Amino acid sequence: MWAGARHITFASCFLLASPANYSSSTDRYLDALYIGQAVTADQRERARIVREFERHALTQAYTVPILWYNRIVPTTANVKGWNMTPSQYIGQDLADVWLDR
């Protein structure tokens, strides 16, 4: 929906209806910009709207995402002892992980 894939996660930090809006901020201007870029077919206009969204969101600083990563953990039935932790940095103990072959 955004001009680039990276904007999907960036925008979710600021939109009223998003569960990732951890600051619980309400900014109808950002909501309008998000809808505006979604319905605009002209790529230059869309990019302009996206830049305005970014400028306004970071200027208001309801929240500033400084690190964003996706965690993908592929496993098979052979992997035993693996427990998904809430963070890739905390509670990651691989001492009990083994392969059942």
Which pLDDT tens digit goes with each residue over 23-71?
788 889 999 998 999 899 999 999 999 999 989 988 987 777 776 666 7
Provide CB contacts within 8 A for 83, sequence distance 6+: none
pTM confidence score? 0.55
Q: Which two tokens stand for residue 21?
A: 């809006």
